[in-house]
């Protein structure tokens, strides 16, 4: 008399079979191990700080322009005290968000901005120029300056502007990689300086800072590239596991391994449950492993991050079941994988570009997952903040997981 085998025992046996089949797939096993090693290493060497200081070069030096303008300023009524205040003002000292570098020669400044010369600042503040194409040694104990934009004033700029002369020419040099908004800001800076030197008020009145910034002001608290890429790296782990799971399902269907399984006391439902548990557990486990290595869990976000990671694992497992059971061969499975994965990857790149994502990006199933991970990692998002995104993600998880199970069930019954 045969012994009745319980459903949990059958599912455990199927899970062992899944693990053995997974370990025999040398290609995806190697790729999985490679991803699990490469991603934490890549994250380790990412920049962890954001440089929010704009380095501005000017020529000639401010002190020389002030010295040349003293006689003209005296003639216009400037007092000795005011001139002394100009002499004592150290405009080259680093201000919040702005570092001013002074050049005596306009050609040198232009060459540095263009990249033909390097500018180094010694410990005593002296500016050292170096030609990178020569064998000249780098200055010891000096800091290399990245100058992307420079302003060349005429030597009599102060006196001419203060006297109200028109047609005073100022040249702004900028590297081709400098954003257009920064170039515009520097042009506005020159105009504002000219108004102030001429003793005139700006033609517009600016509102208080408190009424300008909408939402959270990130000035001085920018998210580094390292932190921005953290959710994207977790996302890539889930994506890699999708390829592995889809390949495993496709192989079992093509080799009719599932037919042999169903000859045993195992039912179709047992097979589907085992696939669901195995795929979700593998994705969740690998994602959690990388998450611990990149320091994504904190006392305040761990529950939200784990819940989001679980939903993402289930979503990608459902996609893997659908893709694996739809392809008729390896190329078909690969085609379906790329057909799904390329659109699903788009929201993960949105973390690199601040601002509100486009409406069509927000419709993609993976958007609420990546959006919640970004918020939990970088912006202290809470459960109440993420409720809408998680509800939207849950709808897609049910739809995609249901489609995957339905397709695989039909495929199994047709064998």
Residue 216: Cβ within 10 Å count: 8
The partner residues of 151 in beta bridges, in order of sequence, read: 58, 172
Instruction: Extract the tokens encoding 169.
Output: 């020419």
* Residue 301 to residues 218, 308, 371, 376, Cα–Cα distance (Å): 20, 11, 14, 6
Q: Is 295 among the domain residues?
A: yes
Same domain, yes or no: 23 and 77: no
Q: Are residues 158 and 273 in the same domain?
A: no
2 located within any domain: no
Whole-angstrom CA distances from 165 to 61, 160, 336 are: 21, 5, 70
Examine residue 217 and state whether it is found in any structural domain, yes or no: no
Note whether 405 and 336 are same-domain residues.
yes
Judge if 269 and 408 occupy the same domain. yes
Per DSSP, the residues of 331-377 read HHHHHHHHHHHHHHHHHHHGGGS-SPPPHHHHHSTTHHHHHHHHHHH
Q: Do 312 and 403 share a domain, yes or no?
A: yes
Same structural domain, 131 and 75: yes
Range of the domain at 140: 54-211
Q: What is the pLDDT tens value at each position of the chain, 415 positions in all? A: 456 668 788 888 888 888 888 888 787 788 888 888 888 888 888 777 766 667 778 888 777 777 777 777 677 666 777 666 666 655 545 455 667 788 888 888 888 888 888 888 887 777 888 888 877 777 788 888 777 788 888 877 777 777 777 777 778 888 777 777 777 777 776 677 666 655 555 555 655 554 555 555 555 556 677 777 888 888 888 887 787 888 888 877 777 777 777 777 888 888 888 888 988 898 888 888 888 888 777 777 889 999 999 999 999 888 888 888 876 666 777 777 777 778 888 887 776 665 667 788 888 888 999 888 888 888 888 899 899 999 999 999 999 888 888 888 888 777 6
Domain boundary among 152, 187, 211: 211
Q: How does strand 127-130 pair with strand 149-152?
A: unpaired
Written as six digits, the tokens of 16 are 């062992």
Residue 201's alpha-carbon distances to 149, 167, 195, 196, 253, in angstroms, are 27, 19, 7, 7, 78
Region label for 220, one of left (φ > 0), alpha (ψ between -120 and 50) or beta (otherwise): left
Same-domain pairing of 206 and 242? no
């Amino acid at each position: 008399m045969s012994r009745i085998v319980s459903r949990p025992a059958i599912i455990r046996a199927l899970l062992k079979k899944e693990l053995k089949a997974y370990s025999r797939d040398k290609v995806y096993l190697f790729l999985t191990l490679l991803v699990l090693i490469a991603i934490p290493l890549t994250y380790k060497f990412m920049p962890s700080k954001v440089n929010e200081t704009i380095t501005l070069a000017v020529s000639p030096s401010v002190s020389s322009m002030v010295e040349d303008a003293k006689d003209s300023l005296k003639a216009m009524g400037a007092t000795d005290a005011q001139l002394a205040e100009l002499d004592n003002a150290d405009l080259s000292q680093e201000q919040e968000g702005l570092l001013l570098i002074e050049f005596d020669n306009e050609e040198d400044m232009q060459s540095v901005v263009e990249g033909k010369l390097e500018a180094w600042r010694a410990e005593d503040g002296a500016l050292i120029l170096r030609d990178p194409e020569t064998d000249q040694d780098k200055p010891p104990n000096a800091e290399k300056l990245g100058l992307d934009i420079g302003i060349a004033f005429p030597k009599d700029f102060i006196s001419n502007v203060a006297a109200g002369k028109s047609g005073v020419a100022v040249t702004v040099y900028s590297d081709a990689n400098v954003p257009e908004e920064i170039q515009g800001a520097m042009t506005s800076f020159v105009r504002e300086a000219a108004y102030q030197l001429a003793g005139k008020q700006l033609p517009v009145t600016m509102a208080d800072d408190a009424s300008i910034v909408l939402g959270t002001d990130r000035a001085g608290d920018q998210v580094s590239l390292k932190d921005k890429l953290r959710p994207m790296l977790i996302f890539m782990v889930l994506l890699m596991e999708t390829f592995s799971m889809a390949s495993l399902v496709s192989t079992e269907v093509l080799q009719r391994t599932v037919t042999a399984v169903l000859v045993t006391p195992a039912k179709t439902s047992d097979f589907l449950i085992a696939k669901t548990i195995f795929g979700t557990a593998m994705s969740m486990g690998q994602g959690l492993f990388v998450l611990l290595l990149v320091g994504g869990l904190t006392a305040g976000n761990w529950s939200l991050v784990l819940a989001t990671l679980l939903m993402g694992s289930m979503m990608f497992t459902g996609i893997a079941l659908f893709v694996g059971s739809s392809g008729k061969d390896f190329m078909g499975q690969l085609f379906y994988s790329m057909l799904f994965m390329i659109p699903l990857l788009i929201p993960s790149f949105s973390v690199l570009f601040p601002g509100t994502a486009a409406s069509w990006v927000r419709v993609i199933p993976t958007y609420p997952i990546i959006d919640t991970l970004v918020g939990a990692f970088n912006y202290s998002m809470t459960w109440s903040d993420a409720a809408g995104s998680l509800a939207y993600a849950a709808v897609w998880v049910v739809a995609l997981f249901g489609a995957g199970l339905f397709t695989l069930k039909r495929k199994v019954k047709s064998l």
